[in-house]
Structures are given as C-alpha cells and as structure tokens.
Chain A
Amino acid sequence: MRERASWDVVCTVDDLIAESGVAVWTEDGPVAVFYLPHRLPALFAISHTDPFTGKNVLARGITGDLKGQPVVASPLYKQHFNLETGQCLEDETVQVKTYPVLLDGQNIRIEVPASVSRTAAA
C-alpha cells in the first residue's frame, strides 16, 4: 500500500512573487516555488538545487516559456528547466525533481514524498 504523503505548508500567497520564484526549506531539502499568474495552473515547485553545480539557486532564475513550455533559466550557467517535468532543455540526461504544489486558502502546500517525510519524522 502506498504510504500517505504529507502536504507541508511552505509559505503564504504574500511570499510569492509574480512571474518569479522563491526558495523554501522542506523536509526534502530546498525547493523553488514559482508563481506564473498568466498560466493555469499557476504554481510550480521544483528542486532549488542546480544539478550542474549542486548550488541552491534555481528560484533566482528568470522564468518564461520556450516553444510553449514553462521554463526557468539557471542563474549560474543559464540552462533551462521545464517547470512541469523538471527536464533540462539543453541536456536530455538531466532532470530536476518536481513536487506537486497547491493553493489552500492563503497557504501554499507542497507534497513531500512519504519516504522522506517518514525518515525525517523518525
């Protein structure tokens, strides 16, 4: 049976910045939350860690779209990552983790995988 994941509250609507990202700390480490108000859904959450350098910077990248896909460009060496799938557009072997994210009243919640949640709780 699949274990129930936890939906952590990571921040509120007021913390978000339209067309851009903020970083939050979760039990699975640093996560970048993006708010693109012109899209539906408008919220995206991916790992904050740039896979090419291991540094926690992705929330500080520029967002946009390339060929219709919502993307963020790493502020370090400018590779683009698809915000829905985490796929790197420049290197098909690289992908960053993505997280389900939802708006609950004024709160932003992120689904942290159960295994992580349990380990952290232990």
Chain B
Amino acid sequence: MSKKNLIVIGNGMVGHHFLEKLVDTPAVTDFNITVFGEEKLLAYDRVHLSEYFSGSTHSDLAMGTAEWYAEHQIDLHLDEGVTDIDRERQVVKTPRGEYPYDELVLATGSYPFVPPIKGNDNPHCLVYRTLEDLDDIRASAKGVKTGVVVGGGLLGLEAANALKSLGLEAHVVEFAPRLMPVQLDRDGGALLKHKIEEIGVQVHTEKATTEIVDGDSARLRMNFSDESHLETDLIVFSAGIRPQDTLARSCGLDIGERGGIIINDQCTTSDPHIHAIGECALWSEKIFGLVAPGYTMARTMASVLNGDQEAAFTGADMSTKLKLLGVDVGSIGDAHGQTPGAKSIRFNDEQAGHYRRMVISEDGKKLLGAILVGDNGPYDTLLQYALNEIDLPESPETLILPESEGGAPALGPDALPETASICSCHNVTKGDICGAIDAGCADLGAVKSETKASTGCGGCAALLKTVVDSELEKRGVEVSKDICEHFPYSRQELFHLVKVSGIRTFQTLIRDHGKGHGCDICKPAVASILATCWNEHVLATDHVPLQDTNDTFMANMQKNGTYSIVPRVPGGEITPDKLIVLGQVAKEYNLYTKITGGQRIDLFGATLSELPEIWEKLIAAGFETGHAYGKALRTVKSCVGSTWCRYGVQDSVGMAIHLEDRYKGLRAPHKIKFAVSGCTRECAEAQSKDIGVIATENGWNLYVCGNGGMRPRHGDLFATDLSDEELVSTIDRVLMFYVRTADRLQRTSVWMENLEGGLDYLKQVVLEDSLGIGAELEEHMESLVGTYQCEWKTAVEDPEKRKRFREFVNAPEKKDPVQQWTMERDQKRPVLESEVEPA
C-alpha cells in the first residue's frame, strides 16, 4: 500500500506535540509527513517566552531539534507560509509550490488581538507573541524608560514581566475593573494588583484607551476615556488572542461566529480530510487559549489518525497555576461560582497577602472551583478534589485555612482514584504510575523516566513523589534512606547529628549513633561531613583512615596503582613561568601530561613516594592543590571575557578566579563544577555546570544544578542581573544548602530533582529565605573560606604526614615491580594487560 500524504500547517507547541504523539503510534508508517511553519524558527515554548529576556535563548525554549525531524523523516518547511488550500484537488499552495495531501491538520494557532484604537499603527506599538516580537520589543526598549502593556490577563502580566526584565518602568492598563478577569474574582484581583504594585509595576484598571498620540516627556501618550492620560515610550498589546483561521475561511470551511475553525470531537472540520487543533480550533463554541487543552487535542488527533474509533476530545480543564511577577496565582474550574446553587467559602488574610476561595456544590459535597492568590500551597489538593469529584471532608474550609488553625488535611494519595490525573502536561494518571511500578520501576527517578510524569512544567513533582512513595510502601518496598549497615540514618540526618552535637570524629559518631566499625561507604561520607562542619586537615590522625585512597594521598589513583596530580589553575589562567614549572616537573619525574576538560593540566604516572617531592616543587613555584581527588569544588572554567573578547560584557576570568578562590577546598556530597561566561555566547559552557554564571550588560545571570557527564542536564536559570556581591551570597546559600541536605554521592542536578518542590522550593529557600536560614548558610560558608588551607602545603611540611607516602615502609628504595611502562606519541603510558608477554 502506498503511503498517504499528511500535511501539518503550523509549527507551534501544539503542532509539535501532535507530531511527537504521532511518531509514537504505528500509524506513523502510513504517512509521508510534511510540516509548514510560517516562522523561521522551530517550534518553541511560548509559555516561558519572557525568559527570553532573562537570558534564555531560542535553543533553551526550543521544543524539538532539526535532527529530531530528520530522524523521524518529517519534511520540515520553515519560513514557508501556506497561502491557499484547494480542497477540490486536495493540495496546499505556498509561494514555492503545490503539495498534495490526503489528510491535512491545521495547527495555525492564534494571533494577538490589537484593539481598534487610533494611533495603534505607531512603530512603537507592539505585540507579544513570537520570538520575533520579543526582538522588536527589545529593540524598541533600548535607551528608553517606560513601557505599557495593554491587557491585564495572564499573557499581559507575562509581558509586563518581560518589560521589567528589560529594565523598563512597567505599567499595565486593563479595561476590566480587575486583573485577570477570567480567572479571578474582585478580591483576588485586588490582592494581585496590590502585590504587583509592590514590586514596582503600576496597574491601571477600568481604563479604556481612546487614542495614541505623540508624547511630551516620552515617545507616546495614551489618552483614556475618563480624560486621564499616560506617557510611555512603547506599548505592548496583549488584549487576548484571536484564532488564526484565515486559510480555513478562504477555502470555505465552517467558521464560528466570532472566529475559530469549527471541529467535532475527533478534531475534524466540516471537510472530513481537514482537521484543526489548538488555539485555531473552535470546539463546542469554545476557543482554548492554554497549552494543556491544545496538547489534549493533539493527542486525540494522533489517536484518530491511528484509527482509534474511541478517541474523542471532550473538553479540557482550564485550571491554571502559575507565578506571575513572583506572585502565586491559581484558578480552578468554576472559579466564579456560575454553577446554579454554587456556594463559596472565602479566606482573606490581608496581613500575609493570601486570598483563597472555594466554590462548592449546592449540597456542599463537591468542589466546583477555586481561586488562590499569594500562595498556591493548597492548589494540588484542591485540583484533585475538583477534577476527580472526590467528596469533600466534613469541614471543607480546613482545606484553605492556614495549617495552624486545625491543619489543612492534605489529600492522601490513597484517596485518589486510579483515573486521577497526576501530571497534566503528559497526561499521566495514578493508574499509569501504579502500572510503571508494577512493571519494575523501583524509585521516583525510574517512574519519571518511564511515564514522563513531572518532566513538563514540573508542577506536580511533590504530588508525584507522595504517590510513588505510598505505592512503593504498599508493595512492601522499603524506601530506606540508611547510608549503610552501620548507621540507621541518611546523610542529611548524619549531618544534623554532627553539627548539632558538635561531634568531631568518626569514632565518637559511630559509638554514639551507629554500630560496628564502619565501612568504605560511611567513612568517606562522614569524613566529608566533618570537613564541611569543622574543616580540619584531611590527614589529621583521626581522619586519615576515613578517606578514600584519593583523599588519603591527595592525588588520583589510576588503573596501575600510580597517581595523577592536578594543581589548581584558578579560572584556567596561568602564567608562562608556571607553565614552564609544570613542564620541568613533568620532565624530571617522567610524567604523562594532558590538558583536562576543566582548563587545568593533569600529570600522570607519579608513584606514591614521589608525590610529596613533586608537590614541594609545585608549592615552591606558587601552585596549590587542585582537589581533583576530592568530592569538592573542582574548577571554575571561564572564557576570556571582556578584557580581550570583542563580545564580552563582563570580566569573566576575574569573576571565575574570585569564585574559585572562595570555594576551593569546600567538601561536598559530590564533586562540584563551575563556569563563568563573559556574554550570552556562553563559550565557557556554564549551563552544563553545577553553578553556571553568564554575564549580562547589567551583571550576572546565575544558572544552577546543570550537569555534563553521564546524565547531561541544562542548568536552570535561578536569578538574573546580580551584582558581584549578590552573586556570591546567592552561590553561598545554594552550595551550603546542597552540602547540608544532599545524599551521599548526589550531584546537584539529582539533588534538585529530588527536592520536594524542586527549583521553586530552592528559590524560596535561597532567594526569599523561606526557612530563615539564609544568613546562617552564608556565615557557615564564610567560616569555611576563613579556615582554608592548602592540604598539600600542610602535608609536605609535616614529617609525620609525609610518612604516609612511603610505598613500602621497610624498603624506601624499592620500586613497585608491577608498574610497567611503554612509550606512545612521545610520552610514557602504562603497559596494557593485553601487551604483557606471558611469562
């Protein structure tokens, strides 16, 4: 059977999601797939558009890659808009040609509505929709002071956030009497307005703009119907969306009265071979302006094309939870209580700035909707009650009252039915999670990678964890956090014991809190905790036997039992004289030399007894230990920065050296890597590091918890435009919180993914000081910085410590006979096992 032609018009989030779902079905082999996109760029994440201004690039926001399209043999035509559909001949036309189709999917999305106001064609009147729009806004904002967003809805506030991150004084002008009129009621809107004004965005409600004219003190002046006016340098319209249905109209498909391509439950239009999904589609007289319903349509569409007779789009939940300009806002179901007989319970704490409203059914048994402003804490629980129509508890008000007043009973995972949706981004139900566990997923990470749950927006992370833990427990899987057989504690708990009881040695700790004599798991972990708490020398008598061999001998053991040496080269900056010393030492001891990935030089093949001699020479030349052997700060990689580079905007080398000097020697649950880039070109690859710093024109953007290696992970943007001091204190807090709470051998990336509440929680702790420990974390770091010593310097000066480096204590001159060498590319290397001649 020959393949059918499937054409998709539109390469936005929904169009892309549809393709992702389709390639997972067997039907994908039935089609030759062609995609047309009007924009020059691949589909990207519009939900996080405002991050584009705070340092994200198109590739951060991109949904797929050109390789992905190629790999699935999808013919992608970007920057090629479709001009006409000929339904008679079943072809689409573009400026470059005609393409036949058997099935056609319209995912053309929407366009921003610009109200018909006189003067709205001024070049500084803009919209907020695409990355190109954002580039225009950036250009218009250059060198000016003020910006206005017209529209106080969800996207409008996002746009205001964008203006603010460009350094503009931002205003929001809304026609309705309150912000977010669709999602919020009067009190909720008022609180949101108050909170947003607190952070410096001016809100003007009940303002109808009559005309836009030239301004006196700024470029433009907006005149309002109440005779007042506002001067501004640019205006961004974000007054809602309209379905992009031009193509559908011109080829005669059925269109709704106020726009939108009419579709049935199978997402099919009035032409059986043409379908529509996302914001261009009108289902049951509704346009869905959120991404989740669009994704649901995309999944339905993929199933329909796969021949699934049952597949149907049956509407979508429009509940939303988000953080707008730092303020939590949540809206669930029938938020306005429009269901006949609906009643409300309200909680309004003007002191704390929390507003919560529940809308309950006439009989008081079901939750119909809810509004939250200021704190989304109860959102997940409320959403489950509403979506799954779970019976409310006897005193439903406890669900929104603060915990101190009787305790909000969190909805236990057992109360959720199998059909409960846990992750709405990827449509994962509790049943799917149970299925994954039954199929062998034994921990949270495995469930995540099997079901994709919590890998979209991440909002369900905490809920997912409780469901997984509870299900594992039910199956008798003990979720043991014990570090090993000697201590019934996790690393975090051991840290507390050591810190709180002031314990300074392993022997005291195991005597008081453990059993037996320890092992190679708990000893190095405790050594690291002791080092973080008290910062004593790793070779102090009590600590020597705790260390892994690399820490004991302060060098990295290689496969033949010899060691490699990595002196610190802060920021990767090194003088010619120091380079010469490294060369001389390597030559004298016949060491193999290689440049590391962290901008240092690794010297291989030193024997145990040579280590102190080599270090004596390196120290004399001004080198310090590089801690390449430790679970500690490794390097701070940097690009050359504004000192030399034509594009650099800050001194990245200077900052890298400053950071490396500050955190060198810090013992942690695992190794830590940093990088500092001098501009957004990101030559230092900072986003793949535990701590990544990227220069901006105004300071530094901080990324955290990235990783290279086995499980690459892009760092998350944590804070923007920090001053030097802010950068250091923020890193102090993040690192110290990591060191205190992470598990043994847990990199920052895994640590963050396992934190309940994830990135948002970490931001609260570090940036908002929600636990009230910010100052203590900084003090602790400061004390470690103050007690730093070069471990090698201390060791070579102490004859007792040097004794440890004798290869054979009774035969100083004896060379280890099993170390055999050969030459390769002009350097020595160990003889491989396969090269040893049989005796």
Contacts and interface: CB of A to CB of B under 8 A. Distances in A.
B523 A11 contact: no
A102 interface: no
Contact of A78 (B485, B520, B560): B520
A52 B435 CA distance: 41
Chain A contact residues, majority secondary structure: strand
Contacts of B811: 24-25
B545 A66 contact: no
Contacts of A39: 517
Contact of B561 (A22, A56, A63, A64): A56
Contact of B804 (A17, A18, A49, A73): A17
Given A25-B810, A62-B520, A62-B523, A17 B559 contact: no
Given A18-B545, A23-B809, A56-B816, A65 B557 contact: no
Contacts, number: 95
Interface residues of A, number: 37
Given A56-B818, A62-B548, A63-B545, A23 B808 contact: yes
Contact of B519 (A22, A38, A73): A73
A60 B560 CA distance: 13
Most chain B Cβ neighbours within 10 Å, of A11, A66, A80? A66
A96 interface: no
Contacts of A49: 818
Interface string B519-533: 110111000000000
Contacts of A15: 803, 809-810
A27 B518 CA distance: 33
Contacts of B810: 10-11, 15, 24-25
B807 to A, nearest CB: 6
Interface in A52-83: 53-57, 60-68, 70-71, 73, 75-76, 78, 80
A36 interface: yes
A64 B559 CA distance: 23
B536 to A, nearest CB: 16
B440 interface: no
A63 B519 CA distance: 6
B474 interface: no
A107 to B, nearest CB: 11
A11 B552 CA distance: 21
A25 B808 contact: yes
A75 to B, nearest CB: 4
Given A17-B544, A17-B804, A76 B557 contact: yes
A20 B545 contact: yes
B561 A62 contact: no
A65 B518 contact: yes
A19 interface: yes
A19 B803 CA distance: 16
B261 to A, nearest CB: 63
A62 B519 contact: yes
Contact of B485 (A36, A53, A60, A67): A67
A73 B809 contact: no
Contacts of B807: 23
B65 to A, nearest CB: 38
Contacts of A18: 541, 545
A30 interface: yes
Contacts of B545: 17-20, 62-63
Nearest to B549: A75
A64 B818 contact: no
Interface in B544-587: 544-549, 552-553, 557, 559-561
Contacts of A65: 516-519
Interface of B: 485-486, 516-520, 522-524, 541, 544-549, 552-553, 557, 559-561, 803-804, 806-811, 814, 816, 818, 833
18 contacts: A15-B809, A23-B809, A24-B810, A30-B816, A53-B559, A54-B833, A56-B816, A61-B520, A62-B519, A62-B546, A62-B547, A62-B549, A63-B545, A64-B523, A65-B518, A71-B519, A76-B557, A80-B520
